[in-house]
Structure 1
Amino acid sequence: MRFLSRRLVMPSDLNYADSLFGGRALEWIDEEAAIYAICQLETNVLVTKHIGEISFESPALKGDVVEFGLATKKVGRTSITVTCMVRSKATKKTICIADDIVFVKVDPDTREPVPHGKTMAELENQTRTEISTLNMLD
């Protein structure tokens, strides 16, 4: 799982218990997972079809930096299924896991599912290539 995106928990993101509101976390997860799927499939004409089990493990508090890890679980003919983990940047403690997030490529006019033309093997190779070209220090 790659952790490449981060957000700062702001006062407006908090619930009545002064921790990250679950609905805000889910909004962020949907957006981050969509961006990941868009990059994987190289198309922005995707819709969220399903979000499976969601498990909240620990709170995030005001001022915490949270990071999003995403991984591809499965690739279908018109869909991609991903998992997202949200964790604390400082402690690496898991805040939330959202499993089986399914995105479907749709025709922009008809809104009907259409094949994306990618396989799991192609996406794994694409990811390896992207990682090798990143300017990251060891």
Structure 2
Amino acid sequence: MEFTSCLLEIIPVEDPTVPPDFRFSDCFSINFTCIKELIQVTQPTNPTSDDIDFSSSSTTFNEAFLVPSYILCNCTPLTDSNVENAELLHEIFSSVPISSELLDEILPHLEENTRVILSHEGCDSLVEMDVNLHVLTVIADEDFDL
């Protein structure tokens, strides 16, 4: 039996330090952090024990991406151009160790946060966003109820 849970946090970064001669007004700098945690639950090795045996491991992935704002603002597949943008984002984020299905769940949140950030920010400087994703997967023997 396997159960996966995700926690997504998107945080705009205030006052990015970018040299004044650069114009990134049409782009977002996305600092992507992904923590993948695996917990395996098994029957106790001692049949008289009530303790549950488990092991866990985690990996952390960090990468920064520069993505045009118009792509992030139109990445939920409702129109043909949005489908193209979603496909492009899948390609951009291909180095992130998450499934395509999970990325499809994240894209609407990125789109919504991008629109909110752009409505509050001036469009004359680079806009940054932190995306923190924690993916927890629990694998248990069939005898356990999760």
- Shorter-normalised TM range: under 0.3
TM-score (norm: length of structure 2): 0.24
- The structure that is strand-richer by fraction is 2
Kindly name which structure, 1 or 2, has the bigger radius of gyration based on alpha carbons: 2
